[in-house]
Structure 1
């Protein structure tokens, strides 16, 4: 029965990505099939390949639940006037000559308080992108600034599931972990800010926004007593360390109520928005700015995570992780150790197609080397934060990259050259170990 169920699911998902010409999905499927055939060639039975693929695919359930909440949250904030309100007031108060920098600054602050890269991208990120589109600015650069900002918070927030995961795997206290990361964070953050200030001077937000502001004002009831309640609820619940799914769920309910009572939406329409996405303004000037979200918008990302989790199961069966582990043990300096950790992180980020999988696989591969070299666990955690947490954000088929790009409405490749913070974290860390650290030998 399990074999039939898995084969049916596999055939259905592959048919979907083929019919919809979902390139990344097709690539991941081909990679999976290639390694599955290799497993069969190595003497594994078809039943064992299906069993381990099925078991590992079930590990995606928690992430899939987050995807559902993120899709519904975005649509609810669009229909309630929350995101349009942020766009309206943002256009009025953000300095157009520093818009790219402010996009990075604002998202990094919000991501720190929310502790969620996806939650930040699906809320304030979408609002900033709407402003960018209304101001005819390069959306890939703005998207890069936003993605740099959301992974600042994902890496350095006591509420971040990623930061808590790393601390748990390394066996250390989360707050000790955050404190230990401050030094490696300051220089990259400053350099990234300077880079975005420079870009802001060359890519200025158009101030010819009166028509957009007027349309939003005429279309929505922008009563600030109500439209920002969904934002306030997310921030408050995050500070109280309430489970992110609960805080998102409550914010969705509040936004939906506001959409019905304040924005005069029909309940059946709000339910449709939550499911299919908010596409109310087709054929108008707001069409390209106020749209998106919905559970359905998360389908492609969900397929990627299911297949990538199955792929990790195949890797376990082929003992590939053990092979990689043997290749990185012979290091003599702290810089070499970190360099190998970065390489492993990039490989696991590519094959796992998911940040969580990359973190777990990287920690599993490198921890023995760190222990043998008598590197404290707190430094192991820092090195993973400076590699496996951020690098998946620039791997196009990794969920850490693909999903924020989907929510922001940008391609998952063109933004990469401008995502400065993602590069600078591992680069600055390596330079520190290579040239500044006193005890270079290990």
Structure 2
């Protein structure tokens, strides 16, 4: 594009699409309880008008949107595979097996620690904090409340575990978005997050250990646990051997097999387990991959837990990603993001302040745009050039996006995550906030690392050239 033929977009014009999008997002999500797609499209339309007013042709604006979508294509491919994995693993009995054996280790004094770990394992396996909270989390709330543990504490432990697994799972949509939008290899991104996420989990578990000991004399309602386990035994063949399927995918990852073939292996193994272990037909197993697993049960919790997955379950996330990237594409390639980031970077002169600014921007996006995905999409395009200019590897940015975007969404009551948690667990953000320990500890760890330079990866000259070209689309 011939920038000399266009007028430079100043900060006030650049903020206009964001303001329109934020206002419409707040009204749509908070008051009308709608999905974020339409507000994003409104923001896209305003951004297009601003770009057109400043001299860009419609053909150029279309090209900006296409380039934005192109950046998200690797993540979209992974998201599609994730839906297939979830369906295959539920149909093959893998998820049920993990939950079954996990519930057998619950004790009253260790309840908060245990439910956090179980939620972490399930979320790690299926890649979804929401699905974990809506299923295992709901079960955990009932069990914990029966032992007179305060609802805020239970919800906080459930959220910490669920978001640990969501953040670290190669099946998670937010994990794939953060990696894909920054051009980072998925498993390099996950490995880099270990340095902030594992310490955060350890701190959370230690806190839950000491908090939980005050409930050591509580009564454990085994009827609820037995009802869940009985339902799974009735509908699935449960065997420890099924745990070899997720173990195989983890092993492939450990041997640095790329994400796509590793996920395909997980799909094939789950597909085979549904046919040869669960005794289902090839038609039903194939239908599970397309539409998700369907289980008829009088137990609403079991139905909620297992009636999900499949390619079609990912359409919402895919469509949202595409719409968000059309918005982000216009903001970036028209120069609007440059106008905004120039102001911010005046205060981010070193690595620590840059990471702090990234995390603060993610939190602000969660608060203003009310949507977790947008808190990853928009800051990823805002900051990628700044990281590259400072010679910082893009995986530093992808980690900061997750530390600041994925995790902090739960603290905003009107964010879709806060709304979902209240609707699902029945606990307000101000009640569970102090106990969602992992979610607020990790952002501070990430900022601390930035200032002291711990596990901050620099690029070689060859890497800088490669990632600069990749970021340019």
Under a length normalisation based on structure 1, what TM-score does the superposition of the two structures give? 0.70
Unaligned runs of at least 5 residues, structure 1:
1-16, 372-376, 438-442
SS at match of 1:23: coil
Report which stretch shifted further, 26-35 or 74-83.
Answer: 26-35
1:9 is aligned to: none
Aligned 8 A contact 1:279 1:291 in 2: yes
Aligned 8 A contact 2:87 2:308 in 1: yes
Residue of 382, 390, 393 corresponding to 2:403: 390
Matched, 1:86 2:98: yes
Residue of 231, 243, 252 corresponding to 2:258: 243
Matched, 1:212 2:212: no
Distance 1:190 1:76, change over 3 A: closer
Distance 1:167 1:53 in 2: 17
| 1:347 to partner: Cα distance | 6.0
Distance 2:364 2:278 in 1: 48
Distance 1:252 1:287, change over 3 A: same
| 1:315 to partner: Cα distance | 0.7
1:440 is aligned to: none
Residue of 421, 430, 434 corresponding to 2:438: 421
| 1:272 to partner: Cα distance | 1.6
| 1:345 to partner: Cα distance | 4.6
Distance 1:290 1:381, change over 3 A: closer
Aligned residues between the structures: 392
1:312 is aligned to: 328
Distance 2:230 2:41 in 1: 47
1:3-22 aligned at under 5 Å gives the runs: 22=34
| 1:130 to partner: Cα distance | 7.5
Residue of 355, 362, 372 corresponding to 2:383: 362
Summarize deviations over 1:316-362 as a string: whole Å, max 9, x none.
23312222332122557876555334334556786972647644542
Aligned 8 A contact 1:72 1:294 in 2: yes
1:247-286 aligned at under 5 Å gives the runs: 247-284=262-299, 286=302
Distance 2:378 2:126 in 1: 16
Distance 2:103 2:45 in 1: 48
Distance 1:353 1:62 in 2: 17
Summarize deviations over 1:83-137 as a string: whole Å, max 9, x none.
11112211112335434433544676899xxxx8974759988884475377476
1:91-130 aligned at under 5 Å gives the runs: 91-105=103-117, 119=127, 128-129=136-137
Distance 1:108 1:386, change over 3 A: same
Distance 2:261 2:131 in 1: 16
Distance 1:96 1:118, change over 3 A: same
Residue of 132, 138, 161 corresponding to 2:140: 132
SS at match of 2:104: helix
Summarize deviations over 1:346-389 as a string: whole Å, max 9, x none.
56786972647644542313554x57xxxxx47x965x466323
Distance 1:314 1:192, change over 3 A: same
Residue of 67, 70, 74 corresponding to 1:58: 70
Distance 1:336 1:54, change over 3 A: closer
Aligned 8 A contact 1:166 1:381 in 2: no
1:353 is aligned to: 374
Residue of 7, 27, 30 corresponding to 2:42: 30
Matched, 1:221 2:234: no
Summarize deviations over 1:212-268 as a string: whole Å, max 9, x none.
22222233222333x223222212211111122212212222222221222121221
Aligned 8 A contact 1:134 1:212 in 2: no
Distance 1:163 1:25, change over 3 A: closer
Q: CA RMSD in A?
A: 4.7
Distance 1:275 1:242, change over 3 A: same
Aligned 8 A contact 2:163 2:439 in 1: yes
Aligned 8 A contact 1:108 1:152 in 2: no
Distance 1:302 1:320 in 2: 25
Residue of 283, 291, 298 corresponding to 2:314: 298
Aligned 8 A contact 2:112 2:208 in 1: yes
SS at match of 1:289: helix
Distance 1:386 1:235, change over 3 A: closer
1:313-332 aligned at under 5 Å gives the runs: 313-327=329-343, 328-330=345-347
Report which stretch shifted further, 387-396 or 310-319.
Answer: 387-396
Distance 1:245 1:140, change over 3 A: farther
Distance 1:77 1:129, change over 3 A: farther
Report which stretch shifted further, 28-37 or 137-146.
Answer: 137-146
2:160 is aligned to: 145
